[in-house]
Structure 1
Amino acid sequence: MLPLMQSEWERMWKRKKTMVSLILFAAIVVFDCFFLKMQMIGAFDNVNSVPLNAQNFSVFLLKEVSFILTLIIGPLIMIDSLNSENTSGQFRLVLIRPITFSRLYLAKWITLAIMLLIFTCLTFMIGEVAGHLGLPSVEHVTFLNPNRSYDPWEAFQYSLQSYGLFYLIILAELSVVSLICTMMPSSIISYFVWIGVMVGSLYLSDMMSFFLLSASTIFKLLAGSYNEYFYLPVLGCLGGGFLATMFIWNKKNWSK
């Protein structure tokens, strides 16, 4: 399994889109750091906001860039790895070797999850460094719940928890996009179907709003003001999308 994952990892980095996406995303994150520092205000929504400081900067940086990662860069990397290789015939070359469909999909899913973890960690590290270098530290900070105060260590844990929840949403997205790529005939159609799923989920149920409004959902969840189920739909999309895709991969005729 490890050699297969290594092979997938190497193929992923051989695509120019991967490195270009990483550089472009890093540039966007740095730009948003300057943008936030100019504002000096972190907004949870249209009503609630707090002054920016070293302890809360990375959280609001996540809010600024989460949309870029969930809507543009993340799906493009996923679709390029899953759908483009199928339509270009690369899958058939790989499957000439004695590799099961399940192992190949699992290797792809894990390597994509690691890649998305790199993007998430990169945002967190840049946010923490920029916040502590460019903004004053405070002894206590509040987030969306004004009745809950955090010391610097607790604020750091809050930031880690925010990024962890965001990464969980990204993994759910990975499973759903994998399922879409398996059923759609081209990369372009897969991308627009994913956009439709994100937008349509808002009208389907408020529980599914985490795909398009990930930062807002996380703020409310950590403040105790999120009135919908969170873990059930997120884990349902993650596990359901993964298992459904695995089932289709085992049943699909890849020789066509």
Structure 2
Amino acid sequence: MSVAKKQYKRVTTNSVIEMKANGEKISMLTAYDYTMAKIVDGAGIDIILVGDSASNVMAGHETTLPITLNEMIYHASSVVRAAKRSLVVVDLPFGTYQSDPKEALRSAIRIMKESGGHAIKVEGGKEIKESIKRILNAGIPVMGHLGLTPQSIYKFGTYTVRAREEAEAKKLKEDAKMLEKMGCFALVLEKVPAKLAQEVAESISIPVIGIGAGAGVDGQVLVTHDMVGMTHEFNPKFLRRYLNLYEEMTNVFKQYIDDVKSLDFPNESEQY
């Protein structure tokens, strides 16, 4: 059953908490540059995530680990300039918050001051509790991230579904409640069993946004380049491709090449 949507001129952290309370699902997509962010924001997306997935999508790295704080600030600044309605959440990159709470706070402050982002996202639970506490105490909104945490890929050794075993599922539920209690405004759950994700969403008052976490959560997030088919090598079960831009753009570029070489472009009407 569809739920009547409240119209938000500007989505805030309070807005998404209100959406959950009202039973309205939350939409979230990634963007890393001005042009894409302007399209996504104009379509009415609730949250834009400036993800450290920019490391893969924009820079071609195998993992999210290489991207730097300066690079994240650059991407986030570009997105913020385009976003007129969406809440802009920015990933803190690997190595900027895990071991030193003071460094975590400095990193979060730089993101907020230099990019104009509205909130930051961090991966992990009790292991980074002190870092989250420092950031929240400074008045910076925090979105948590549990389940498959790509910044810990070398610890996991695989991108497989997380929390299938009872012990890991128990820890995930405990971490989710801890993040809520600390004051995080939302939580991403990545690649966890749908039943577990629904249990978590029903057990806490803050929104739970899933990626590969089933339909029982409060919202969904995908990487925009994946869902519009600009990328084509990545094909997880949870990904729905709404377009095949890789194929369409390739055909267009080939047509352009042919038109240039055959002297068809530019034609008379395309000249001064």
Give the TM-score band, short-chain normalised. under 0.3
* Bigger strand share: 2
TM-score scaled by structure 1? 0.26
Higher normalized contact order (CA 8 Å, seq sep 6+, divided by chain length):
1
